[in-house]
Structure 1
Amino acid sequence: MSIEEFYHLFYEDLQEVYQDSKELESLFFLLTTHVFKCDKTTIILKLSKKEKIEDYIYKKLIKKLWELKKNRPIQYIIGKTYFFGMDFLVNEKVFIPRPETEELVSWIIQDHKRNSENVQVFDLGTGSGCIGITLKKKLPKIRHIHAVDISPESLFIAKRNSKFHKEKIFLRKVDILQNLISLPIIKKYPVNIVVSNPPYVRISEKKLLHPNIFQYEPFQALFVPDEAPFIFYQKILSWIKKKFTGVLVCVYFEINQFLHLDFIEFMKKKGFRNLEIRRDFLGFFRMIRAIYYQKT
């Protein structure tokens, strides 16, 4: 079989699962560049020449095509994802970083790029470590990145990503709902960034998700009870109010777009003012920033 023939087979087999042609094209190049260990330009040249595929490569491609037909995310199939133009290792124990989270990180970078020397970051629910590692990479003067997660498997992946990118972050196993209060603040800096993309999808919204999300990605990283959609944020805000006095805290959250008005009221009731909410690239209200300061 030639690579051109595989290209047509790929589209025929997956067009019912992925109806967006641009998404299909992206999946094709993600898969083929991974298997052939080359860049997109090389794949395009192979297509134009109608190059034959070696048997062992063909078998790999067919196996991974079968996995895609079963709704398995391409990031889990190739074992990595791209975030801020960088590779991050992922597996089924880790939530796959999304473009919306890149926008949240970009907001933080823009806010602090001129003065990050006396800043520490708390990345709560770090998952793959992509937020903390990217911030350390893009704002190298930041003093400390504290990254926490309840999952030992996630922390293992985050540690591997930290080593791969040669960026030191402090990883700690913490259950946000049970013992976030136990997270020590070793030193208070003038500016503290608290960033989190916690579970925020209500169980009732599961039907709105693509099957490749709820079938494969970790349940505990996605869903919250319908009756308590802000449960993680509530714990984080309570922790901030108890632990930080006399210093500035910049809070950045990714939020449920269907609850953005309720979330603004929730933040205000918790004593957080100076709120700014932003839309993501799809036009949904997805990110919010609060500036918090409490006198000693």
Structure 2
Amino acid sequence: METIFFILTTHFFKWDQITVLLKLSKKEQINSFQYKKLIRKLWELRKNRPIQYVIGKTSFFGMDFMVNEKVFIPRPETEELVSWIIQDHKKNNEKIQIFDLGTGSGCISIVLKKKLPKIQQIHAIDFSHEILSIAKKNAMFHDVRIFFKTVDILKNLTSIPIEKYPMTIIVSNPPYVRFSEKRLLHPNIFQYEPFQALFVSDEDPLIFYKKIIFWIQKKFTGKVCIYFEINQFIYSDILDLMKKTGFLNVEIRKDIQGFFRMIRVIN
């Protein structure tokens, strides 16, 4: 709670943490307008609204990203997935194109463009213009060129025009939390974060992975590297899916908490 307090106050007052502590120790007063505004922010936190939405931004890979309730708040395990991609390709001199499926805030695409500047094209895909407007603002803020396209992965992913490249990277952190797992989540997640970015049915929890795999098999030639964030409770089902669809060069990794949360497939 102390950390959240300092995140809020340093953002709100534009002071560093030491200045906040000094002013608290001196019991300095703030004007009534600032006080009322701060109380409103604290009330939002009391109602379980995530601090990232309260201040309108989050940190990912040490970079600031604008967020609101239209986009999912990036998590540390997604940073680990992005680190894996960077590690794999930082010395690669081939021409590469990247497709970021379900881009949300655009954080994956933007970090990859910053960390792998030799990449020729990055295409960031999501189903909503409102979502992509946030991603576009983040791309402008970080001064990177990303190609954004509004596409529903479940309905018309095959409509995306594909150019031939020696290598393609597909990365996705799709919805993968089953409805039955909702009880395991903190209230501030399912109360405020976008439903479409979180949940899938228990009957077909791999639906997004299936659609993406079908698209890859139908549309791509040449070398393709696929990176997925996955549900740790059904990782074996995802591995089975990969094998059944002909993907044999598969590696699965645990996150820092020891859960199987990411998978790489090289085709």
The counterpart of 1:252, out of the listed 227, 232, 243, is 227
Structure 1 position 48, deviation (Å): 4.1
Structure 1 position 62, deviation (Å): 1.0
Give the match for residue 108 of structure 1. 85
Q: Alignment RMSD, CA only?
A: 1.2
CA contact (8 A) 1:129 1:162 kept: yes
The answer to whether structure 1 residue 54 and structure 2 residue 31 are counterparts is yes
**Structure 2 Cα separation of the partners of residues 96 and 230 of structure 1:** 21
The counterpart of 2:136, out of the listed 159, 164, 179, is 159
Give the match for residue 42 of structure 1. 19
Structure 1 position 238, deviation (Å): 0.5
Structure 1 position 87, deviation (Å): 0.7
The answer to whether structure 1 residue 275 and structure 2 residue 216 are counterparts is no
Structure 1 position 44, deviation (Å): 3.2
Q: RCO (CA 8 Å, sep 6+): is it higher in 1 or 2? A: 2
Opposite residue 189 of structure 1, the aligned amino acid is Y
**Structure 1 Cα separation of the partners of residues 88 and 265 of structure 2:** 12
TM-score between the two structures when normalised by the length of structure 2? 0.97
Q: Aligned pairs, how many?
A: 267
User: Could you give the per-residue CA deviations for residues 165-214 of structure 1, whole angstroms, max 9, x where no partner exists?
Assistant: 110100000010010011111x2211110000000000111111111010
CA contact (8 A) 2:113 2:119 kept: yes
The answer to whether structure 1 residue 120 and structure 2 residue 105 are counterparts is no
**Structure 2 Cα separation of the partners of residues 286 and 50 of structure 1:** 46
**Structure 1 Cα separation of the partners of residues 95 and 17 of structure 2:** 41
Give the match for residue 17 of structure 1. none
Structure 1 position 117, deviation (Å): 4.8
- Deviating runs (4+, > 4 A) in structure 1? none
TM-score between the two structures when normalised by the length of structure 1? 0.87
The counterpart of 1:144, out of the listed 113, 121, 126, is 121
**Structure 2 Cα separation of the partners of residues 49 and 106 of structure 1:** 43
Give the match for residue 40 of structure 2. 63
Structure 1 position 223, deviation (Å): 0.4
**Structure 1 Cα separation of the partners of residues 94 and 118 of structure 2:** 5
